[in-house]
């Protein structure tokens, strides 16, 4: 169904449910959902919404809105952004970070996030998936990926003898590489978190 028509019919359906709902709290929630769909239309983001829904139907990792080679470039982007996003994901050197923006204080933060570790962990529930191709360098892997007739949202590859996930972010045309070794490091990090802070050495 055409995205514009889909949004229009969804708003109408929410309106019908709103009329039959007695709970003031549920009425407010339904109204907020309808207003969110109207926001997409009035701000001209129909195509972005359409692409987002397509991405949700893929097996790839969480969507990102931007990718930067260095922390410095990401910080400059966030500092100079006239209307920063809030709770959106970005990649810095192919590592996930979450952008936070508190408008009332003009406070901007971009901490590291474990999004890809959870995704890789889920992929490895039944063991490491088989690689579909092997490369010595990222440049070779990137050339192979971009020459595919249809670029998948993700592909397991061997890169320099190590298993990697090549993840394609269609909305920003960015190919990221994530080593599966992150899963073991993530496991070790969680174990340390569960153990709590180390007790200080007793004073002599």
User: Using one digit for the tens of pLDDT, what is the confidence trace for 134-166?
Assistant: 999 999 999 999 999 999 999 999 999 999 999
Residues with Cβ within 8 Å of residue 108, at least 6 apart in sequence: 78, 79, 81, 84, 99, 100, 101
Please state the domain extents for the chain: 3-56, 66-109, 115-189
Dist CA 42 CA 1 (whole Å): 19
Residue 127: pLDDT over 70: yes
Q: Quick one: which H or E segment has residue 68?
A: strand 66-68
Helices 3-20 and 46-56: crossing angle in degrees, nearest 10, is 80
Q: Average pLDDT, whole number, for the chain?
A: 91
pLDDT tens per residue across span 20-67: 999 999 999 999 999 999 999 898 988 888 878 877 767 889 999 999
Give the H or E element holding residue 105. Answer: none
Exposed, middle or buried: residue 5 (CB in 10 Å: 0-12, 13-18, 19+)?
Answer: exposed
What confidence score (pLDDT) does residue 203 get?
Answer: 47
């Amino acid at each position: 169904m055409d995205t514009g028509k889909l949004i229009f019919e969804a708003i109408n359906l929410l309106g019908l449910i709103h009329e039959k709902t007695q709970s003031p709290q549920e009425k407010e929630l339904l109204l907020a959902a309808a207003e969110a769909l109207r926001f997409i239309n009035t701000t001209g983001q129909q195509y972005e919404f359409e692409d987002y829904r397509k991405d949700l139907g893929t097996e790839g990792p969480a969507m990102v809105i931007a990718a930067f080679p260095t922390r410095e470039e990401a910080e400059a982007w966030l500092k100079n952004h006239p209307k920063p996003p809030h709770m959106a994901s970005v990649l810095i050197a192919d590592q996930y970070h979450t952008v936070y923006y508190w408008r009332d204080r003009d406070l901007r933060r971009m901490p590291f996030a474990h999004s890809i570790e959870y995704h890789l962990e889920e992929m490895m529930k039944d063991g490491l998936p088989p690689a579909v191709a092997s490369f010595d360098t990222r440049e070779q892997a990137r050339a192979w990926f971009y020459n595919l007739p249809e670029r998948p949202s993700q592909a397991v590859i061997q890169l320099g003898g190590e298993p990697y996930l090549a993840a394609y972010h269609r909305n920003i045309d960015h190919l990221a590489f994530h080593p599966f070794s992150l899963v073991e490091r993530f496991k070790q990090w969680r174990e340390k978190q569960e153990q709590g802070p180390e007790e200080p050495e007793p004073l002599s």
